C-alpha cells in the first residue's frame, strides 16, 4: 500500500491508512455514503480526502481532482466546524498551495443562510432577514393567542399552548410541510377517525387543525415583520432551489466536491435542500453512523442516511456506493464486543448494515468491562467513587475519567458523594450545572430580581439558611398575596384562573400581613431591602451582576470557611463554570439581558435533553460528569454509565404520538414515514409500537455512551432511585449486557443483593434539609472545642481575648501567625460593624438624581421611591426601546457618523414584542424627523450632558440637541416619540424648564436667549416656550430635592396612576383609579 498512498497522506495520518480508509479517501469523483463507526477516525479521513483531491488537481494542472477552494464541507455544530477547519488546515499544510486555498467549511444552517442572502430576491425575500432567538420566537408566537380563538386545545395555560404551536411548527419545518397541508390532511380524516372506538385520535386531529391554523398566523406575523427562524432558513432555501434550477447549477459550478459530516443528524428538510442543490451525480460524500443517531428528538432523521444512495444517484442513474469504516482506533476489544452485543437486538430495518461489527485495533488491547447492580442510587454513586479512588491510587489522572448519565437527574447525588470522597469533579454543560445547589441559589436571586412572578425563587431564598424565614410566617405572606389575587379575580371576571399570586407584592405590604412573628417580619424586611439593592445592580452586564450576587449572598465567604477544602474547590469550580457559560452565551442579536439569559436557562431546564451544541470539558484534572448527549464526540480512558434501570434508562416515554397529541405531526406527512409505525385505529397497539421505537432510540444513546471508553467501561443500575414507593426492575440494557457476559465471559458482573420491599432512600433528602428554626450550620463540635468552635469564639469575644493557656500551648511560629490573623479579623469586624450601621440607618439619600427621576418625584413621590430608592422591576413597553432607538438614530445622523443611505438600511435592535406591537412605527418616526426643520440643521451640541448641583444633590441630564451659536441665542430641543400631553398637565414643561435652568446655571446663558422646544415625532408637532423665571424653576426643583432628602415619599395619586408600573402595589393609586373610571 505504501507505493500507492501518497507520502503527504501518510504523513498527515501518522501511519498508512487501512484498506477501508484508503478506499474512502481515494474514491472517484462521484456520490457515495460513508458509514463511519464510532472511533473510526472519520474526521481525519475527510481531511485526507481533501488532500487526495488537491494532489490530483496539482498533478493534472486542474484537469482532475478538485482544488481545495472548490470543496464545500458542511458540519452540524459550530464546534464541529472549528475542529474540521483545524484538521483540514493541518492536512493542507503538507502541500505547496497558494495562500487562502482551502475549503469552505460551514454548518448546514449557515449554508442555507448563504442561499437566502445571495438568491432570496428571486422569491421576494429581502436579504439580511433577522433570525429569531428561541426567546423571541416564544414572544412573537404569544401574540397569536390575541389574534385567534382556541376551542380545541387541551390546556388553558398559555405557555403550554404557545409551546404546542411551536412544536408543531418545528416538525412541519423539519419535513417541509406547510400548515395548510396539515389542516387539509386532518380535515379529510375526521370522518374516518370519528368511527373509531376511542375518540382520542379524533380530538387530537381537531386540536392539530387548530394548532396548524395558529401556525399560519405565526408564519404571517414573521413575514410581516421580515423575521425568520432556523426552520425558515432551511425551508426558504429549499424553495429557492426548487423553483430556480439556475441556483443549484451555479452552486455546483462553485463547489466541485461536497463533504457532508454527521449526516445522520440532519433532518428531512436539510436533506431535501442538499438533494436539490447537489443531486444528479454531483460528487457528494455523506459521512455518518446510523448507530449514533441520538438527536431524533430535535428532528434528526436516520432516513436520510438510508436513502442517500437513491436520493443522490450517480450520473448514470445507478444508486451511489455505500462504503464503511468499521475499524475502531479508540476502544479495547471487550468494550467493542459489549457495544456490538447491545446493538445486536436492533431491528434490521434500523441499520443499513445489520451485520455491522466494530473491528478492534490490536494495539488497544482487550480493555475491560464491568456490569453491576447496586442497592440504590447512593450506593451506586459510592461504588463509582470507590472505583475512581482505586484508579487514582494506580496512577490514573482524574481527567481521564468520565461519568455519563442519561439525564442530569443523577448529578446532585454524584456530586455529593464525590465531595465526601474528596474527588475533584467538573459538571460539564449548563443543564447539569443548573442542578448544583450553589448555582440554584444564584439563579434564585436572579429570578427574584428579574420578575415579581418568581414566587418559587423567593420562597427558596426565604426558607434557605441565609434568611431562615419560618414556614408559618411565609405561609401568612403567601396567604395575603393569594387573597389579593382572588379579590382581583372577583373584580375582573375576564382575568385568567392561571394568574399567580405574587409574594413579591406582599413584601411591599408587610404591615398589612397579620399574625407574623417579629423576627420573621424583620427578616422579610431585610430581604425586601436587599432585593431592591440587587434590582439596581441588575442594570450591570449579566455576568457582572451574577458575580455580584455570588459575592453579596456570601457564597465565596462560605466556601472560604468550608472545612473541606476539596469540596469547597469543587463548588468554586461549579460557580466558575456557570459564569463561563454565562459569558459564552450570547443572543443572536442585541445585548444580553438578564431576562434573555433566564429565558435561555428555562429552555435548557424545560427539556430532558441538553443544548444543541455539545459543551467542551475544561483541561482541568478532574472527573467529568455530563449527559451522554453532551459527551458525543469525546473519549476517555474510563467511562461509568450509571442509571440503567427500568423506566430510567432505557426510558420508553413517547416523544410524538399523533393519535393522542395535537402537537404531533401526522406520521403519514413526514418525510421519513417509511421508518415509523402507522395508526390503524387500535390505540393500544400503536402506543406499543411507539414505545418500541423509543427503546430503539435509547439503545443508540447507550451505544454512544459505551463507545466513549478507551480502557475501562463500567455500566450499572439500581432498583431504587429517589424516594419512590416501588423499586425499578433492572433495565433492559443491563440485563442484556449481563446475559452477554454469561455467554461470552468477557466482563465482570456483580448482580447485587436481593431487592427489599422498603426503599432505603426514604428520608434521604431530609438529611440535607435543616429544621427551622434550628441552626443554620451543622454542628462544629470536636475534641478541642466540645461545644463547638463558634461557641468558643463567642466566649472569647465576650472576654475580649483568647485564654492565655491556649496561646501558651502554641509553638512560637503559630503564635505569630495567630497575631497576624487576629489583627486581620479585627479589621474585618470593624468593617462589618460599619456596614451594619449603614444598613440599619435606612435608605441612604441619593447624591445625584436624573432629570426624569426628579420629575417622577414631582409627579408622585411614591413613584420616585419605587423607581430609585427601593426599585422594583419595571415593565417597559415598546415605547421605551423605540424611543431609545430613534434618539440614537438622530444622534448618529446629527454627528455625521454614517450616511443617510446606511441609516435607512439599518435594522434597529428591537425585540420581537416591540416590533410586533407597533409594526412600522420606527419608520414613521424617522419620516417625521426628516420632514421637520431640524433634519436640515446641524446642532451646536447633540446629546449634550450636564451636571447641575442643587441643595447638595447633583441633577444629571442629557439634552437631545442645542441649536444656535456659541455666544448667541440657543434653541434647546427635546425629541418625544410619545403623544403630546394634555393641556392641563402642570409638569408638561418641567423637563425643558430644567434644561433651561441648566443652560443658565452651567453655561451662563441669559434666559431671554433660550427657546425651549418639544418636537413630537408621533404627530410632527412643535411646541415651544421661553424659560420661566429661573428662580421660580429653581424653587420648584429644590422643593422636590428637599423632599427626597427628607425621605418624604407619600403618594400623590392622579392621572399617572393609570399607567404606573407600581399601581398594583399602591393602595392610594388603586383607590384613585377605582374612583375615577376612564370614560
Give 714 or 500, the one with higher predicted confidence: 714
Cα 817 to Cα 807: distance, rounded to the nearest angstrom: 11
Could you give the percent of the chain with pLDDT greater than 70? 78
Give 37 or 796, the one with higher predicted confidence: 37
Domain boundary among 170, 199, 222: 222
Exposed, middle or buried, 705 (CB in 10 Å: 0-12/13-18/19+)?
Answer: buried
624 and 537 fall within a common domain = no
* Residue 796 resides in a domain: no
* Residue 687 resides in a domain: yes
Q: Note the helical H segments in 492-622.
A: 503-507, 518-537, 542-552, 555-560, 565-584, 594-606
pTM for the whole structure = 0.62
74 and 214 fall within a common domain = no
Give 507 or 92, the one with higher predicted confidence: 92
Residue 452 pLDDT: 67
573 and 697 fall within a common domain = no
665 and 705 fall within a common domain = yes
Residue 935 pLDDT: 85
657 and 576 fall within a common domain = no
Nearest residue to 605 (alpha-carbon basis) of 411, 451, 381, 424: 411
602 and 632 fall within a common domain = no
| pLDDT-based confidence at residue 617 (cuts at 50, 70, 90) | low
602 and 633 fall within a common domain = no
351-406 pLDDT tens trace: 777 777 889 998 989 999 999 999 889 999 999 999 999 999 999 999 899 999 98
498 and 632 fall within a common domain = no
Listed range (37-41, 164-168, 581-585) with the worst mean pLDDT: 581-585
Upper half-sphere CA count for residue 55 (Cβ side, 13 Å): 18
Q: Which of 608-617, 622-631, 905-914 has the highest mean pLDDT?
A: 622-631
Residue 952 pLDDT: 81
* Residue 904 resides in a domain: no
Nearest residue to 610 (alpha-carbon basis) of 600, 618, 595: 600
Q: What total of structural domains would you count in the chain?
A: 5
954-985 pLDDT tens trace: 898 889 899 998 888 999 999 988 778 888 88
Q: Note down the domain range covering 870.
A: 848-875+932-1074
Cα 375 to Cα 377: distance, rounded to the nearest angstrom: 7
Q: Tell me, what CATH number does 590's domain have?
A: 1.10.486.10
Residue 771 pLDDT: 41
52 and 181 fall within a common domain = no
Res. 1011: pLDDT tops 90: yes
188-247 pLDDT tens trace: 988 888 888 888 889 999 999 999 999 999 999 888 888 888 888 888 999 999 999 999
392-447 pLDDT tens trace: 999 999 989 999 998 888 888 898 898 888 888 887 766 666 666 777 778 888 88
Nearest residue to 338 (alpha-carbon basis) of 311, 312, 362, 357: 357
Nearest residue to 75 (alpha-carbon basis) of 240, 302, 313, 286: 286
Res. 911: pLDDT tops 90: no
Res. 714: pLDDT tops 90: yes
* Residue 682 resides in a domain: yes
Residue 1015 pLDDT: 92
1-52 pLDDT tens trace: 445 788 888 888 888 889 899 999 999 999 999 998 888 888 889 888 988 9
Residue 609 pLDDT: 43
Q: Can you name the residues that pair with 973 across neighbouring β-strands?
A: 961, 1013
* Residue 812 resides in a domain: no
DSSP H or E run through 427: strand 425-427
- Average pLDDT rounded to a whole number, residues 617-646: 86
195-209 pLDDT tens trace: 888 888 899 999 999
Res. 611: pLDDT tops 50: no
Cα 677 to Cα 687: distance, rounded to the nearest angstrom: 9
User: What are the φ and ψ backbone dihedral angles of 13, each rounded to 5 degrees?
Assistant: -75, -20
Q: Which residue has the cell 418525510?
A: 671
Residue 1037 pLDDT: 93
Torsion of CA 34, 39, 43, 48, to 10 degrees: -80
Q: Tell me, what CATH number does 699's domain have?
A: 3.40.50.300
Cα 294 to Cα 307: distance, rounded to the nearest angstrom: 18
Q: Tell me, what CATH number does 992's domain have?
A: 3.90.320.10
Domain boundary among 574, 606, 638: 606
Res. 840: pLDDT tops 80: no
- Average pLDDT rounded to a whole number, residues 300-315: 86
Residue 278 pLDDT: 92
Residue 638 pLDDT: 95
569 and 638 fall within a common domain = no
Res. 1066: pLDDT tops 90: no
760: cell is 432505603
Give 833 or 157, the one with higher predicted confidence: 157
Residue 567 pLDDT: 59
Cα 444 to Cα 451: distance, rounded to the nearest angstrom: 11
84 and 155 fall within a common domain = no
* Residue 831 resides in a domain: no
Residue 497 pLDDT: 43
Cα 591 to Cα 995: distance, rounded to the nearest angstrom: 30
357 in Cβ contact with 737 (< 8 Å): no
595 and 520 fall within a common domain = yes
* Residue 996 resides in a domain: yes
* Residue 900 resides in a domain: no
Domain boundary among 750, 768, 785: 750
Cα 258 to Cα 52: distance, rounded to the nearest angstrom: 14
Amino acid at each position: 500500500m505504501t507505493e500507492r498512498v501518497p507520502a503527504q497522506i501518510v504523513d498527515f495520518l501518522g501511519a498508512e491508512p487501512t484498506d477501508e480508509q484508503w478506499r474512502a479517501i481515494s474514491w472517484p469523483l462521484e456520490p457515495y455514503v460513508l458509514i463511519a463507526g464510532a472511533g473510526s477516525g472519520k474526521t481525519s479521513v475527510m481531511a485526507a480526502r481533501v488532500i487526495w483531491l488537491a494532489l490530483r488537481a496539482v498533478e493534472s494542472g486542474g484537469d482532475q481532482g478538485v482544488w481545495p477552494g472548490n470543496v464545500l464541507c458542511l458540519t452540524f455544530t459550530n464546534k464541529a466546524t472549528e475542529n474540521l477547519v483545524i484538521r483540514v488546515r493541518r492536512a493542507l499544510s503538507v502541500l505547496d498551495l497558494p495562500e487562502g486555498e482551502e475549503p469552505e467549511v460551514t454548518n448546514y444552517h449557515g449554508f442555507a443562510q448563504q442561499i437566502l442572502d445571495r438568491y432570496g430576491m428571486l422569491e421576494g425575500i429581502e436579504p439580511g432577514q433577522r433570525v429569531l432567538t428561541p426567546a423571541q420566537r416564544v414572544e412573537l408566537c404569544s401574540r397569536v393567542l390575541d389574534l385567534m380563538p382556541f376551542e380545541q386545545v387541551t390546556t388553558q395555560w398559555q405557555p403550554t399552548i404557545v409551546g404546542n404551536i411551536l412544536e408543531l411548527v418545528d416538525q412541519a419545518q423539519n419535513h417541509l410541510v406547510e400548515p395548510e397541508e396539515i389542516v387539509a390532511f386532518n380535515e379529510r380524516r375526521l370522518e374516518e377517525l370519528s368511527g373509531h372506538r376511542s375518540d382520542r385520535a379524533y380530538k387530537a386531529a381537531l386540536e392539530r387543525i387548530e394548532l396548524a391554523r395558529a401556525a399560519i398566523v405565526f408564519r404571517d406575523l414573521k413575514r410581516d415583520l421580515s423575521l425568520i427562524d432556523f426552520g425558515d432558513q432551511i425551508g426558504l432555501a429549499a424553495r429557492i432551489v426548487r423553483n430556480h434550477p439556475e441556483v443549484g447549477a451555479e452552486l455546483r459550478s462553485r463547489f466541485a466536491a461536497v463533504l457532508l459530516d454527521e449526516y445522520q443528524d440532519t433532518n428531512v428538510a436539510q436533506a431535501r435542500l442538499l438533494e436539490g442543490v447537489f443531486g444528479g451525480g454531483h460528487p457528494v460524500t455523506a459521512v455518518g453512523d446510523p448507530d449514533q443517531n441520538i438527536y431524533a428528538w430535535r428532528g434528526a432523521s436516520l432516513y436520510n442516511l438510508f436513502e442517500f444512495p437513491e436520493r443522490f444517484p450517480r450520473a448514470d442513474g445507478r444508486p451511489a456506493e455505500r462504503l464503511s469504516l468499521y475499524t475502531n482506533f479508540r476502544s479495547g476489544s471487550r468494550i467493542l464486543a459489549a457495544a456490538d452485543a447491545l446493538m445486536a437486538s436492533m431491528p434490521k430495518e434500523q441499520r443499513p448494515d445489520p451485520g455491522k461489527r466494530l473491528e478492534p485495533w490490536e494495539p488497544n488491547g482487550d480493555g475491560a468491562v464491568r456490569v453491576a447492580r447496586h442497592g440504590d442510587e447512593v450506593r451506586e454513586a459510592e461504588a463509582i467513587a470507590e472505583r475512581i479512588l482505586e484508579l487514582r491510587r494506580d496512577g490514573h489522572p482524574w481527567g481521564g475519567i468520565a461519568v455519563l448519565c442519561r439525564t442530569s437527574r443523577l448529578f446532585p447525588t454524584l456530586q455529593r458523594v464525590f465531595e465526601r470522597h474528596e474527588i475533584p469533579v467538573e459538571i460539564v454543560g449548563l443543564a447539569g450545572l443548573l442542578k448544583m445547589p450553589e448555582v440554584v441559589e444564584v439563579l434564585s436571586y436572579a429570578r427574584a430580581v428579574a420578575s415579581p412572578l418568581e414566587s418559587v425563587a423567593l420562597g427558596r431564598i426565604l426558607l434557605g439558611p441565609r434568611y431562615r424565614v419560618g414556614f408559618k410566617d411565609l405561609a401568612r405572606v403567601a396567604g395575603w398575596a393569594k387573597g389579593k389575587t382572588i379579590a382581583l379575580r372577583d373584580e375582573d371576571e375576564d382575568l385568567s384562573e392561571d394568574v399567580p399570586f405574587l409574594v413579591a407584592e406582599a413584601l411591599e405590604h408587610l404591615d398589612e400581613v397579620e399574625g407574623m412573628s417579629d423576627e420573621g417580619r424583620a427578616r422579610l424586611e431585610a430581604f425586601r431591602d436587599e432585593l431592591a439593592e440587587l434590582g439596581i445592580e441588575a442594570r450591570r452586564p449579566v455576568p457582572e451582576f451574577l458575580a455580584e450576587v455570588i459575592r453579596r449572598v456570601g457564597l465565596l465567604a462560605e466556601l472560604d470557611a468550608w472545612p473541606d477544602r476539596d469540596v469547597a474547590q469543587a463548588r468554586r469550580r461549579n460557580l466558575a463554570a456557570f459564569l463561563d457559560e454565562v459569558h459564552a452565551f450570547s443572543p443572536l442579536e442585541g445585548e444580553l439581558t438578564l431576562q434573555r439569559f433566564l429565558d435561555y436557562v428555562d429552555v435548557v431546564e424545560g427539556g430532558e435533553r441538553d443544548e444543541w451544541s455539545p459543551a467542551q470539558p475544561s483541561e482541568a484534572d478532574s472527573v467529568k460528569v455530563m449527559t451522554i448527549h453532551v459527551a458525543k464526540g469525546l473519549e476517555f480512558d474510563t467511562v461509568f454509565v450509571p442509571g440503567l434501570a427500568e423506566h430510567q434508562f432505557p426510558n420508553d416515554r413517547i416523544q410524538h404520538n399523533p393519535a393522542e397529541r395535537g402537537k404531533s405531526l401526522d406520521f403519514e406527512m413526514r418525510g421519513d414515514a417509511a421508518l415509523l409505525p402507522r395508526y390503524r385505529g387500535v390505540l393500544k397497539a400503536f402506543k406499543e409500537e411507539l414505545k418500541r421505537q423509543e427503546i430503539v432510540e435509547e439503545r443508540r444513546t447507550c451505544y454512544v455512551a459505551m463507545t466513549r471508553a478507551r480502557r475501562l467501561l463500567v455500566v450499572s443500575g439500581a432498583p431504587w432511585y429517589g424516594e419512590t414507593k416501588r423499586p425499578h426492575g433492572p433495565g433492559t440494557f443491563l440485563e442484556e449486557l449481563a446475559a452477554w457476559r454469561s455467554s461470552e465471559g468477557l466482563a465482570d458482573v456483580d448482580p447485587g443483593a436481593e431487592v427489599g420491599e422498603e426503599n432505603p432512600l426514604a428520608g434521604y433528602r431530609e438529611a440535607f434539609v435543616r429544621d427551622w428554626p434550628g441552626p443554620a450550620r451543622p454542628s462544629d463540635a470536636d475534641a478541642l472545642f466540645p461545644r463547638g468552635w463558634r461557641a468558643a469564639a463567642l466566649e472569647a469575644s465576650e472576654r475580649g481575648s483568647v485564654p492565655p493557656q491556649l496561646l501558651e500551648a502554641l509553638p512560637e511560629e503559630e503564635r505569630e501567625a495567630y497575631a497576624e490573623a487576629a489583627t486581620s479579623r479585627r479589621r474585618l469586624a470593624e468593617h462589618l460593624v460599619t456596614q451594619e450601621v449603614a444598613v440599619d440607618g435606612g435608605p441612604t439619600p441619593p447624591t445625584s438624581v436624573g432629570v426624569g427621576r426628579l420629575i417622577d418625584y414631582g409627579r408622585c413621590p411614591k413613584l420616585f421611591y419605587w423607581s430609585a430608592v427601593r426599585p422594583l422591576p419595571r415593565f417597559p413597553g415598546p415605547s421605551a426601546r423605540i424611543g431609545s432607538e430613534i434618539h440614537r438614530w438622530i444622534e448618529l445622523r446629527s454627528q455625521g457618523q454614517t450616511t443617510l443611505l446606511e441609516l435607512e438600511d439599518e435594522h434597529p435592535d428591537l425585540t420581537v414584542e416591540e416590533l410586533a406591537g407597533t409594526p412600522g412605527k420606527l419608520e414613521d418616526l424617522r419620516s417625521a424627523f426628516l420632514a421637520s426643520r431640524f433634519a436640515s440643521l446641524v446642532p451646536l451640541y447633540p446629546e449634550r450632558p450636564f451636571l447641575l448641583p442643587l441643595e447638595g444633590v447633583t441633577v444629571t441630564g442629557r439634552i437631545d440637541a442645542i441649536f444656535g451659536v456659541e455666544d448667541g441665542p440657543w434653541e434647546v430641543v427635546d425629541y418625544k416619540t410619545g403623544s403630546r400631553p394634555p393641556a392641563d398637565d402642570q409638569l408638561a414643561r418641567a423637563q425643558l424648564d430644567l434644561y433651561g435652568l441648566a443652560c443658565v446655571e452651567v453655561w451662563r446663558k441669559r434666559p431671554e436667549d433660550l427657546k425651549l422646544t418639544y418636537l413630537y415625532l408621533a404627530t410632527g408637532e412643535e411646541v415651544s416656550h421661553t424659560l420661566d423665571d429661573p428662580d421660580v424653576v429653581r424653587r420648584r426643583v429644590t422643593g422636590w430635592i428637599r423632599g427626597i432628602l427628607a425621605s418624604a415619599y407619600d403618594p400623590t395619586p392622579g392621572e399617572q396612576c393609570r399607567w404606573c408600573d407600581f399601581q398594583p402595589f399602591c393602595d392610594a393609586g388603586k383607590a384613585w383609579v377605582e374612583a375615577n373610571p376612564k370614560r
